């Protein structure tokens, strides 16, 4: 409700006086952009609490913390509502323990996705292991895991057993090991239960390449003891890209092959995710020079972000994907190039959203804009610009609007500014097989502000309508929070909202998205 209230208040301030009261009331009464199902609300609430807690509540890592345990949790989220209703999120937790004599690890992985309220993927894995050194290289260990996967009709699969292994490498930077052993499995597929003895062959690699990059990779082969041709093969690989002492980004790919699947199910599943991870006791304690006053790796003399002169370019990416018994893809790309000087401003923006479930496209939207403004004085400006957009989920083939504009900055400081803008243009549009070419106008409110040394906010609302009928309008808005983690790398969390007062037949009026992903400055 917080996000909805913010959008409502901003929207009212921006276009209420230019729109008939009944139209505004109907717009908010019919707004259906908030998550409807319990799973959607729970996912977004949990993700928001995790991010907020980590950014604003967590204490700094202690240099005196010498515990052999390292705990971290990661989460990724993609959500849309309106003409495309989809939700995908992944949760991950990992605890590792290492001393001179033994190693231990435990954790869980969970992935969930749905489209139009129908679950199309849900998998859960819980695992743990303990290894005791026998001399310098050999070790004895115990392993256990629990796996469930709804698309593959795996009700549960439990594997337990001892192993004997060998370390090819084991030092402060990482380890490389192989292991083999006997085990026992309990499983149920499509309500058919079974239990049997197994063999286990596995390989593990965990290495810190430098202060920023860590790679984790593992492979396992688990055949039935009495039928080597019936086996499960699992592969996983991922990177930990450290952003500061507490946070890192975790892109990851997992692949699972089951040569004895449930009847009618495929043999393999692949999942690609990107998550934001938080460590309870800090990353890379041995390599980092502590400085309690530093919250990021950014240079201390870095200029204020709010009104930096010259070019600033940002590119963002958020993605999740699965294939096999279920096929899903959620992708969001954005690009922004801004040039600021004492005489002029140039803004180039692009945003693309794509989603599909089982080869059916549920979202395909592109927005491009370019503007050039000349400063008349410190606070006012005038210029030209153009916008292009298409949205297949809203049956919009194209909308092109060249326009002239003028605006003012009621607030303009070294930390950012607030801009109010109005413009007059001409719209060329084809939507729902209907061509429209008419004069149009727009009202825009734009905010960009550096909240703290490592947090930057951008927000915009644009109301666009035809001159001869202001009650037929489009409203677009977004709110992004970028947490700078290095000088050129940030994690972006945000919301986007689009509203069409007169959608084509069969289409929804509004589209709402929650996004998160990596943003890179160059």
Long-range contacts of residues 496-501, Cβ cutoff 8 Å, at least 24 apart: 496/351, 497/7, 497/33, 498/82, 498/391, 498/394, 498/474, 499/27, 499/31, 499/474, 499/475, 500/394, 500/474, 501/23, 501/27, 501/471, 501/472, 501/473, 501/474
State whether the Cα torsion 156-162-163-169 is positive or negative.
positive
Residue 59: which pLDDT band, with cuts at 50, 70 and 90? very low
Domains of the chain: 32-292 (2.40.128), 297-522 (2.40.160.40)
Looking at the whole model, is its pTM more than 0.85? no
Mean pLDDT score, 231-240: 92
Q: How confident is the model at residue 306 (pLDDT cuts 50, 70, 90)?
A: low
In this predicted structure, the answer to whether residue 380 has a pLDDT above a threshold of 60 is yes
pLDDT in tens, 168-191: 999 988 899 999 999 999 999 988
- Supply the mean pLDDT for the chain: 79
Contact of 340 with 412, CB cutoff 8 Å: no
Q: Which pLDDT value is given to residue 295? A: 36
Q: Specify the residue for token string 């035809």.
A: 466
The rounded distance, in Å, linking the Cα atoms of 21 and 30 is: 14
CA 472 to chain centre: 33
Percent above pLDDT 70 for the chain: 80
How does pLDDT run across 194-235, given as a tens digit for each residue? 999 999 999 999 998 887 788 999 999 999 999 989 999 999
- Write the CB contacts of 475 (distance below 8 Å, at least 6 apart in sequence): 11, 15, 27, 461, 462, 463, 464, 497, 498, 499
95-104, 125-134, 483-492, range with the lowest pLDDT: 483-492
Give the best-scoring range by mean pLDDT among 194-198, 268-272, 275-279, 333-337. Answer: 194-198
Res 26 pLDDT > 50: no
pLDDT at 286 over 60: no
Residue 118 DSSP class: E
Residue 416 CA from chain centroid, whole number: 26
CA distance 327 to 283: 34
pLDDT at 138: 96
Name the 3-class secondary structure at 179: strand
Q: Return d(Cα 472, Cα 224) in angstroms, integer.
A: 66
Q: Residue 452: what pLDDT?
A: 76
End-to-end CA distance of the chain, in Å?
35
Cβ(439)–Cβ(426) under 8 Å? Answer: yes
Instruction: Answer for the pair 369, 383: CB distance below 8 angstroms, yes or no.
Output: no
Q: In the prediction, which pLDDT does 293 show? A: 36
């Amino acid at each position: 409700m917080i996000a909805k209230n913010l959008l409502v208040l901003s929207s009212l301030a921006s276009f209420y006086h230019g729109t008939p009261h009944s139209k505004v009331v109907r717009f908010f009464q019919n707004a259906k952009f908030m998550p409807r199902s319990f799973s959607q609300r729970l996912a977004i609430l949990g993700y928001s609490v995790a991010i907020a807690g980590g950014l604003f509540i967590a204490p700094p890592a202690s240099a005196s913390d010498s515990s052999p345990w390292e705990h971290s949790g990661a989460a990724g989220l993609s959500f849309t509502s309106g003409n495309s209703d989809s939700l995908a999120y992944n949760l991950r937790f990992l605890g590792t323990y290492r001393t001179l004599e033994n190693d231990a690890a435990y954790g869980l992985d969970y992935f969930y996705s749905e489209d139009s309220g129908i679950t199309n993927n849900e998998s859960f894995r819980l695992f743990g292991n303990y290894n005791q050194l026998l001399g310098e290289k050999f070790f004895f260990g115990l392993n256990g895991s629990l796996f469930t996967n709804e698309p593959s009709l795996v009700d549960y699969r439990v594997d337990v057993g001892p192993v004997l292994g060998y370390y090819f490498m084991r030092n402060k930077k990482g380890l490389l090991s192989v292991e083999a052993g006997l085990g026992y499995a309990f499983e149920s597929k499509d309500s058919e239960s079974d239990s049997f003895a197994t063999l286990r062959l596995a390989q593990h690699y965990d290495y810190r390449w430098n202060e920023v990059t860590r790679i984790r990779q593992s492979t396992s082969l688990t055949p039935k003891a009495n039928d080597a041709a019936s086996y499960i093969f699992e592969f996983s690989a991922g990177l930990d890209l450290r952003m500061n002492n507490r946070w890192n980004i975790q892109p990851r790919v997992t692949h699972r092959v089951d040569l004895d699947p449930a009847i009618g199910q495929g043999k393999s599943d692949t999942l690609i995710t990107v998550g934001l991870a938080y460590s309870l006791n800090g990353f890379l304690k041995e390599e980092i020079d502590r400085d309690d006053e530093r919250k990021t790796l950014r240079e201390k003399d870095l200029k204020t972000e709010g009104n930096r002169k010259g070019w600033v370019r940002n590119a963002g990416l958020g993605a999740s994907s699965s294939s096999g018994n279920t096929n899903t893809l959620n992708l969001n790309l954005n690009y922004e190039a801004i040039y600021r000087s004492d005489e002029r401003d140039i803004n180039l923006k692009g945003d693309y959203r794509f989603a599909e479930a089982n080869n059916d496209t549920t979202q395909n939207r592109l927005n491009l804009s370019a503007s050039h403004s000349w400063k008349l004085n410190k606070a006012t400006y005038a210029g030209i610009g153009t916008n292009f957009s298409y949205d297949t989920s809203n049956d919009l083939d194209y909308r092109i609007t060249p326009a002239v504009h003028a605006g003012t900055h009621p607030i303009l400081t070294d930390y950012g500014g607030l801009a109010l803008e109005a413009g007059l243009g001409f719209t060329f549009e084809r939507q729902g097989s209907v061509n429209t070419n008419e004069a149009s106008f727009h009202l825009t409110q734009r905010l960009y502000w550096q909240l703290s040394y490592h947090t930057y906010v951008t927000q915009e609302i644009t109301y666009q309508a035809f001159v001869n009928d202001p009650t037929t309008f489009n409203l677009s808005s977004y709110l992004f929070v970028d947490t700078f983690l290095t000088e050129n790398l940030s994690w972006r969390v945000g919301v986007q909202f689009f509203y069409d007062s007169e959608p084509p037949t069969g289409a929804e009026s509004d589209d709402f998205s929650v996004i998160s992903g990596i943003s890179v400055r160059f």
